[in-house]
Amino acid sequence: MSANGCAGAAGGPGQHTREHRSVLAEVEKRTLIAIARRLPRRVTPDHLTATGALAMAGTGAAFAAASVMPWALLLVPPTLALNWFGDSLDGTLARVRDIQRPRYGYYLDHVVDVANATLLFTGLALSGLASPWIAGALLVGYLLLAAESFLAAHSLGVFRISFGGFGPTELRILLAIGALVALVKPVVSPFGLGDVLLFDAGGAIGATGMFGAFILNAARNAAALYRAEPLPDSR
């Protein structure tokens, strides 16, 4: 994700190559470009960034409200869809119109992403659909991955948006499906091992995947930088 057009050449904050290899990446790219070309001129990347942020706040609120009003989970898919529209389209619109602001876009995009994740997982922790420690593990895993990606973008000039074929769009889809399933079946019994909350089971898998991706990428990028900057010959 690149709000306000933060993609560019390697060399500093906002000056990097975006690497997006998720399952839906190509279809999503074509769709976003088509939408961006048809948006009214009065709609700006900042408007879209704000729309995405407000929508994610709505998703977090819907999860939190589900503890007393289970039907609030019906609001999760549409608010996630609106978040996708704003959060994914802001950078595309800037690039289509050639109005990129690399440093501003890079900073704003990632500040909003961190705030959005905090709102989302706080709402999940309050929902009664997941244990607070699972929601906390998901937030920590996200923040670790985000921090590693930001550092890699600055140090290597490559900003990776997806991991193992999953990117923000695929995760939104899984979260929306999970919310609808939890509306009718909040408790599951995986492998017949006993009843657990649906989002505890899914969250444990998701957190494990994020921690694993963090370790793998940190090791890979550290090795690449070690090779790029070898120790001076001590002879």
What would the mean pLDDT of 160-175 be, rounded to a whole number? Answer: 87
Structural domain includes residue 74: yes
HSE, side-chain direction, 13 A CA sphere, residue 76: 30
| Average pLDDT along the chain | 89
Please check whether residue 161 is in contact with residue 20, taking contact to mean a CB–CB distance below 8 angstroms.
yes
CATH code: domain of residue 105: 1.20.120.1760
Instruction: Name the packing angle between helices 198-228 and 132-156 (round to 10°).
Output: 20
Structural domain includes residue 12: no
Q: Which of 15-24, 98-107, 176-185 is least confident?
A: 15-24
Structural domain includes residue 10: no
Structural domain includes residue 107: yes
Please check whether residue 154 is in contact with residue 148, taking contact to mean a CB–CB distance below 8 angstroms.
no
Domain count, the chain: 1
**pLDDT of 1 strictly over 50:** no
Residue 96 structure tokens: 């289509």
Structural domain includes residue 53: yes
CA atoms of 216 and 61, how far apart (whole Å): 33
Percentage with pLDDT > 90 across the chain: 72
**Residues 6 or more apart whose Cβ sits within 8 Å of residue 73:** 62, 63, 66, 179, 180, 182, 183
Structural domain includes residue 152: yes
Owning domain of residue 210: 17-228
Is 68 exposed, middle or buried, given 0-12, 13-18 or 19+ CB atoms closer than 10 A? exposed
pTM over cut 0.75 = yes
Structural domain includes residue 85: yes
Structural domain includes residue 43: yes
| Residues forming beta bridges with residue 17, ordered by sequence position | 158
